[in-house]
A and B are shown apart, each in its own frame.
Chain A
Amino acid sequence: MAPAKDNVIPIKRIDSHPSQDNINIRSILIEIQAGLDNLSESGSRHIIDLGAIPLAGYEREKLFELLGQGEVHIHMSLLGTSEIYETLFSGVWVVKHRDELEEFSSMFIEICHIPDIVLSQPDDIVTANSKLQGLINNI
């Protein structure tokens, strides 16, 4: 048998997983719908921690595929990167945090007007004001 190219162990991927009737995905979609009901009726936000839900990798991919990507896409660079986008369903946001090695550290679906982490933080605003004063003084 010929040695693997560049000493890399070949990986045979099997992509065909059965649907399981999409039971797990369907459950999450129903929870999202309930969250949207609350958001539109009372303005209350809801967050689903995907790291706490037993989904297989292919199920998670299917969920993101079904939700799609909407009009707003935000990229943040802090302690790694974060990708935040509104899905095709207004009020339903996907928040993916990656560490400095671009590996996922946490993933959420947030049902809200805009995820909290996007908003400028009061402490950072105070610091920014101080920095800006320094800039004004020195210009």
Chain B
Amino acid sequence: MITQETLGKTLISHGVSRRGFIKFCSTLTSMLALHPSMAIQVAKSLEKIQRPSVIWLHFQECTGCSESLTRSHAPTIESLIFDYISLDYHETLLAAAGDAAEKALHDAMHAHKGKYLLVVEGSIPLANPGFSTVGGKSNLDVLQHVAKDAAAIIAVGSCASFGGLPNADPNPTGAVSVSDIIKDKPIINISGCPPIPVVITGVLAHYLTFNVLPELDELGRPKTFYADTIHDRCYRRPFYDKGLFAESFDDEGAKKGWCLYRLGCKGPTTHNACATVKWNDQTSWPVEAGHGCLGCSEPRFWDGGGFYKALSIPGSDVKKMAGYAVAAGLAAGAVGGMANRSKKVDAVKKHETISVEDWEE
């Protein structure tokens, strides 16, 4: 049963004052990476919206993406967003089971034909439909059936976005992403293993606020969260520019918080928002905790050459490079990152690991 009440009326009925609503919108505006001055416009827009129906399907995955979302600090902006969408079907969270669960899916699809959002978690096995089934139906059949009348599809996590771990070499199940199968619907990829919960809810909030999907990059990810690399936004970036690197996880450089590039950090080739949004109530994120980025939001990151293998070793002229880059208004990391990405792609194609020695040759 879907309420036609607007979000504004719903909030008022919950006793939320106009000032409280502006606070909510200030946080939402921050989450969407909009300019803070837009909070009032966001408030005006949100007041008028109605709850969209969301159907959430699970395929080949670990449910880590749902865990990321549901174990985020609640009640917060995330839970508020989920209060104001109609999550009509979610196999993990659904109280119903068996026929009742199937009926919930059928009812939601029928009541909101052409209007519901489909969220997919997990990759789809093509080598044998029996590798992953729900209620005796293959993941492929379920996806094609539910996607048919969806307004748009949100692929949550690296498995749904790019195939993820199941797709890693030798890919025994023939795992593919949602976009490998569905070609006639708008698809938004929220990659990450898992994705940052705020990014998942941020995309839903964007849809709620503007009634359109956000602008996407070439891999179908929302630019709001994936336009910059981890390296571009890393607070350790000044050390990279100065040529100061940790050489092991317990040396003086590591203790001083120097750049983790040489310890395998994939920040320069990884697009995600961890450096600004952070994790666990903005407490920290992997690089701040002293570990390099694994690159989990990029395609085939499992086959990228090893988590502790440096993608490249910045040349001894890194200071000079940084100087030139600043002078030219460019980011040295972006230049290095492009070179590294090329090497990484080559390695993926050949399924070879990249060693420090390879780069020093």
- CB within 8 A of B255: which of A14, A57, A97? A14
In the complex, are the beta carbons of A78 and B19 less than 8 A apart?
A: yes
Question: When each residue 56-84 of chain A gets 1 if its CB lies under 8 Å from chain B and 0 otherwise, what string results?
Answer: 11010000000000000000101100100
**Residue A106 interfacial (CB < 8 Å):** yes
A19 to chain B, nearest CB (A): 10
In the complex, are the beta carbons of A124 and B17 less than 8 A apart?
A: yes
Q: Which residues of B contact A97 (CB under 8 A)?
A: 23, 26-27
- Among the stretches B140-148, B233-241, B303-311, the one at the interface with A is B233-241
Q: Which residues of B contact A100 (CB under 8 A)?
A: 75-76
- Given the complex of chains A and B, what is the CA–CA distance between A95 and B16 in angstroms? 20
- Given the complex of chains A and B, what is the CA–CA distance between A73 and B235 in angstroms? 30
Q: Which residues of B contact A4 (CB under 8 A)?
A: none
Q: Which residues of B contact A20 (CB under 8 A)?
A: 238-239
**Residue A121 interfacial (CB < 8 Å):** yes
Q: Which residues of B contact A17 (CB under 8 A)?
A: 256-257
Residues 265-286 (chain B) with a chain A CB within 8 angstroms: 275-277, 281-284
Question: When each residue 226-253 of chain B gets 1 if its CB lies under 8 Å from chain A and 0 otherwise, what string results?
Answer: 0000000111011100000000000000
Q: Which residues of A contact B16 (CB under 8 A)?
A: 78-79
- CB within 8 A of A54: which of B23, B29, B74, B233? B233
In the complex, are the beta carbons of A121 and B255 less than 8 A apart?
A: no
In the complex, are the beta carbons of A56 and B288 less than 8 A apart?
A: yes
- Given the complex of chains A and B, what is the CA–CA distance between A117 and B33 in angstroms? 19
Residues 91-118 (chain A) with a chain B CB within 8 angstroms: 95, 97, 99-101, 103-106, 108, 116-117
- Given the complex of chains A and B, what is the CA–CA distance between A49 and B75 in angstroms? 22
Taking CB as reference atom, which chain B residue is nearest A109? Answer: B36
- Given the complex of chains A and B, what is the CA–CA distance between A74 and B27 in angstroms? 18
**Residue A55 interfacial (CB < 8 Å):** yes
B242 to chain A, nearest CB (A): 9
In the complex, are the beta carbons of A104 and B281 less than 8 A apart?
A: yes
**Residue B131 interfacial (CB < 8 Å):** no
**Size range of the interface on B?**
35 or more
- CB within 8 A of A104: which of B75, B237, B275, B282? B282
In the complex, are the beta carbons of B30 and A49 less than 8 A apart?
A: yes
Taking CB as reference atom, which chain B residue is nearest A55? Answer: B235
In the complex, are the beta carbons of A106 and B27 less than 8 A apart?
A: yes
- Given the complex of chains A and B, what is the CA–CA distance between A51 and B199 in angstroms? 13
- CB within 8 A of A106: which of B30, B35, B73? B30
**Residue B77 interfacial (CB < 8 Å):** yes
Contact status of A108 and B18, CB under 8 A, knowing A53-B276, A101-B75, A103-B73? no
A74 to chain B, nearest CB (A): 12
In the complex, are the beta carbons of B30 and A52 less than 8 A apart?
A: yes
Q: Which residues of A contact B302 (CB under 8 A)?
A: none
In the complex, are the beta carbons of B20 and A106 less than 8 A apart?
A: no
B334 to chain A, nearest CB (A): 15
In the complex, are the beta carbons of B256 and A78 less than 8 A apart?
A: no
Enumerate 17 A-B pairs (CB-CB under 8 Å) in ascending A order.
A18-B257, A45-B37, A49-B30, A51-B30, A56-B288, A57-B284, A57-B288, A59-B235, A76-B19, A78-B19, A79-B16, A95-B26, A99-B76, A105-B76, A105-B77, A106-B31, A117-B19
Closest 3 A/B residue pairs (Cβ): A47-B36, A121-B18, A78-B20
